[in-house]
Homo-oligomer: A and B are copies of this chain.
Amino acid sequence: MRFTSERRLEDGVLVRDFTLGEIRGTLWTPASAAPAPLILTAHNNGLPRHEPRLVARARRTAAHGYTVASIDAAGCGDRPRSAADEQARADLRRAMRAGEPVDDIFESFIAPLVEKATPEWRTTLDALLELPGIDGPVGYSGWTAVGIHLAATDPRVTAASLFTGGYVPSAQREEARSITIPLLLLLQWDDEGNPRDRALTLFDTFESKEKTLHANTGGHTGTPWFETEDALRFFDRHLKRG
């Protein structure tokens, strides 16, 4: 892991961009020198990690006392997209315009992205936990499908706040049955691209004893600001020590 830039914000949060092989990421570290629990914040494929809402949330989370890491995984942000990705996006646009079913296209497009992104998150996690001042336990926030795949395969992830804002591949809908860590599932009630009944079925599928669903009116990008604060309290219950 190599840091390529570093700046200190007014609230004392340290922001550093890093590279790790082909992975491009950003690390937000709280002002306090004490070791802080780590939260991985994964956005899904459509957004770059520098998107202002994501940055604002990461900064708020670091100011609250967590180390926050974000990466543009394979095919995300400004990383190169494969010819197959580009073809799938074109197919998707065409099918949506024509009002045709899009599930098969989503499955063939998103499932490989999840398969490629998850090992990159694991590599990032390995490298982060070797840095001084970064401490477990580890929380996960964001892209639901990657969160499921990572939590199902990496016992270091001990709590997850998932945003059900996109297509969840069939493999992860199945893996959800094996998830037992505390979960906060966040859903936009009128999300154009994510049928509500699927999100509710997914919530029902998780085996976690402690799982909470939050739903708000509005479309995909309409999540109210107070949900960032609610997520912090969720992590405080599960990641803070003592």
- Whole-angstrom CA separation of A200 from B196 in the bound complex: 11
Which residues of B are found within 8 Å of A224, using beta-carbon distances? 210, 212
How far does the alpha carbon of A32 sit from the alpha carbon of B203 in the complex, in Å? 42
Do residues A217 and B211 form an inter-chain contact, with CB atoms below 8 A? yes
Chain B residue nearest to A200 (CB atoms) is B200
> In the docked arrangement, what's the CA distance between A226 and B233, Å?
9
Q: How far is the CA of A139 from the CA of B188 in the complex (A)?
A: 25
**Chain B: CB-nearest residue to A214:** B214
A103 CA / B210 CA spacing, docked (Å): 31
Is the CB–CB distance between B213 and A208 below 8 Å? no
Contacts of A230 in B (CB 8 A): 230
Pair B237/A226 contact, Cβ less than 8 Å: yes
**Bound-complex Cα distance A211 to B215 (A):** 8
Number of interface residues of A (CB under 8 A): 20
B214 touches A213 (CB 8 A): yes
Determine the distance from Cα of A233 to Cα of B224 in the docked complex, in whole angstroms: 13
* Shortest Cβ gap from A129 to chain B (Å): 29
> Are A214 and B217 neighbours in the complex by a CB distance under 8 Å?
no
Task: Fill in one digit per residue for A195-236: 1 if any B CB lies within 8 Å of its CB, else 0.
Answer: 000001001100011111111110000001010011001000
If A189-B211, A209-B217, A212-B216 are given as contacts, then 9 extra A-B residue pairs at C-beta distance below 8 Å, sorted by A number, are A189-B203, A189-B204, A203-B215, A210-B217, A212-B224, A213-B216, A215-B215, A229-B233, A230-B230
22 sampled A-B residue pairs with Cβ under 8 A: A189-B203, A189-B211, A200-B200, A203-B215, A208-B217, A209-B217, A210-B216, A210-B217, A210-B224, A212-B215, A212-B217, A212-B224, A213-B213, A213-B214, A213-B215, A213-B216, A214-B214, A215-B215, A226-B233, A226-B237, A229-B233, A230-B230
